[in-house]
Amino acid sequence: MKKIIIIFSLFIYCQSASAQMFSREKLQHKPNVDKKLLSWGYYLGYNSLDFKFDYTNISKDIITEKSGGFNVGLLGNLRITEHIDLRIEPGLVITNRKILFDDSYFSNVPPDDLKPSDLFRELKATYVYLPLSLKFSTTRINNLRPFVQVGIATALNLSSNEKNPDDNSNGTFRTKSNVTFYELGVGIDFYFQYFKFSPTIKGVFALNDELVRDNDPNSPWTGNLERMQSRGIFINFVIQ
């Protein structure tokens, strides 16, 4: 993920340098669009999330198998200065992850009692996602404008099973409903004749522990977990 952000940042830098050094000044599309105090838009996107695990005792890592998900939402933008905007981007984030446990986690379970389904849990998540961020933009170069974005988000996981009385002994892996994330992103505003198009890539990182532990403190699924936190990337395509 760090490599992706670095590559995308270099791409933005090269695009800006190329525009400054080799491009003649061109007719600007929508020259006043960034001067509005309030502006609106919507976005569609892709996400890839996994989990970061911290363990109570040293053990083999739990593996996360990621499946790509999608994002959809609205954008509200408040102009603060020429180069700084405050943004709110409420939306839905839908994703799916499978976590795989090593056999060593079940060393105290009789072999005859261990089922293949005990070695993995599939976690589907639908987040109501509400981020608030600051956007720092460069000076506009013809019809493009690079930017970086930093923010914080609160999310409600509608598929968490937090209140479910069943736990992993009944096949239910539970997570917390409320999650807080911080975000770091980069992107480019492209100005077209009738709209502004902004591809953005963001790294998202949960701040709180999302795990709801099993009733048995020695549970092979949660007994050795100190923290479990989501992390990943969002790639959004914004139209204003």
Q: Indicate the residue type of 23.
A: S
Say if residues 175 and 123 touch (Cβ distance below 8 Å).
yes
Reference 1, options 234, 235, 232, 205; nearest CA is 232
- Predicted pLDDT at 73: 97
For residue 50, the Cα-to-chain-centroid distance in whole angstroms is: 10
Domain hosting residue 203, numbered range = 2-239
Would you state the pLDDT for residue 115?
87
Task: List, run by run, the mean pLDDT of 10-residue segments along the chain (240 residues).
Answer: 54 52 65 89 96 90 90 96 96 95 85 85 95 96 94 95 91 94 96 93 96 92 94 96
pTM comes to 0.82
The pLDDT value given to residue 31: 80
**In total, how many domains does the chain have?**
1
pLDDT, residue 13, reads: 53
pLDDT of residue 6: 55
Torsion of CA 167, 168, 170, 172, to 10 degrees: 70
In the prediction, which pLDDT does 22 show?
Answer: 40
Which pLDDT value is given to residue 201? Answer: 97
**CATH number, domain at 49?**
2.40.160.20
